[in-house]
């Protein structure tokens, strides 16, 4: 894992991306607008999901080290647009204030505890940056106002997804494979899949040849790993089945 962003920068990005999210929601024709990238969700569902997530992760960080997360509280979520956005703002501030108080090294429960990303407030903050980043894209898509992502944030988003979602000691159930991701902005990553699990790392000159590789902008790669784009949206070389199997894989540890 490469810690590309310091803790204060992560908190600032949560704040900035949340402001962009609120702007996209406000620009939409209504809260019942469908979200094309989240089938069967309306914009209301998207705001509820993200705000509830901010509150839950605030409770997780506040609880500190634990074997299990606190229960999700059933919150009353307002359905009027202005009140809903105020509720989301409150949810986001609750998370930010909790992260500020905790500091980056406070340990806490995470669902990625056996992977590369650290199970602490820094890891939570980094994950929430990219949760908000991608859901801002979703909201902008619903509003018809999609804007380019900041390239440096999207680049870290690819690395974060690999560190968090594609790192596990669960054995890869297929023949060993090596995946390369290439961002046209100049960053590349390696993902090794074998009997020891799935392990990401920066791509070096002496890395093993790729079984399959994907090339696109950092934003395209980020949207691909998050399921917003498909293989047809990237330049794919090698065995496409590796990507298909990786997308379908649900490891059990």
Mean pLDDT of the chain: 95
pTM: 0.96
pLDDT of residue 76: 86
Element (H, E) at 215: strand 212-216
Is it the case that residue 216 has pLDDT exceeding 90?
Answer: yes
Per-residue pLDDT tens over the stretch 104-156: 999 999 999 889 999 999 999 999 999 999 999 999 999 999 999 999 999 99
Per-residue pLDDT tens over the stretch 75-85: 789 999 999 99
Question: Cα separation of 16 and 133, whole Å?
Answer: 9
Per-residue pLDDT tens over the stretch 158-183: 999 999 999 999 999 999 999 999 99
pLDDT of residue 17: 97
Per-residue pLDDT tens over the stretch 233-253: 999 999 999 999 999 999 976
Question: Cα separation of 58 and 121, whole Å?
Answer: 10
Structure tokens of 201? 């790392």
Reported as a pLDDT band with limits 50, 70 and 90, residue 3 is: very low
Strands 177-183 and 212-216: parallel
Is it the case that residue 63 has pLDDT exceeding 60?
Answer: yes
Distances in Å between the Cα of 16 and the Cα atoms of 11, 153, 159, 209 are 9, 11, 20, 39
What sign has the CA pseudo-torsion 30, 36, 40, 46? negative
Reported as a pLDDT band with limits 50, 70 and 90, residue 205 is: confident
Question: Cα separation of 103 and 10, whole Å?
Answer: 12
For 192, phi and psi rounded to 5 degrees?
A: -100, 130
Arithmetic mean of pLDDT, 19-38: 97
Max CA distance (Å), the chain: 56
How large is the C-alpha radius of gyration of the chain?
18
pLDDT of residue 1: 52
pLDDT of residue 73: 78
Arithmetic mean of pLDDT, 21-38: 97
């Amino acid at each position: 894992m490469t810690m590309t962003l310091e803790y204060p920068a992560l908190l600032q990005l949560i704040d900035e991306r949340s402001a962009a999210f609120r702007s996209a929601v406000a620009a939409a024709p209504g809260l019942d607008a469908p979200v094309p990238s989240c089938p069967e969700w309306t914009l209301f569902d998207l705001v509820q999901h993200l705000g509830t997530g901010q509150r839950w992760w605030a409770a997780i960080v506040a609880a500190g080290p634990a074997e299990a997360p606190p229960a999700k509280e059933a919150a009353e979520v307002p359905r009027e647009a202005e009140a809903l956005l105020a509720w989301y703002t409150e949810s986001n501030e609750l998370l930010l204030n909790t992260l500020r108080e905790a500091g980056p090294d406070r340990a806490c429960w995470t669902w990625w505890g056996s992977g590369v990303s650290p199970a602490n407030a820094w890891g939570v903050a980094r994950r929430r940056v990219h949760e908000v980043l991608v859901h801002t894209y979703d909201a902008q898509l619903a509003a018809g106002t999609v804007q380019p992502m900041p390239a440096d944030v999207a680049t870290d988003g690819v690395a974060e997804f690999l560190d968090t979602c594609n790192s596990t000691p669960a054995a890869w159930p297929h023949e060993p494979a090596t995946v390369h991701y290439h961002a046209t902005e100049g960053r590349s990553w390696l993902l090794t899949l074998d009997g020891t699990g799935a392990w990401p790392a920066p791509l070096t000159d002496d890395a093993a040849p790729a079984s399959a590789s994907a090339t696109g902008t950092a934003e395209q790669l980020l949207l691909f790993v998050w399921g917003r784009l498909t293989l047809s949206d990237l330049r794919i070389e090698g065995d496409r089945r590796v990507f298909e199997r990786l997308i379908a894989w649900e490891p059990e540890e």
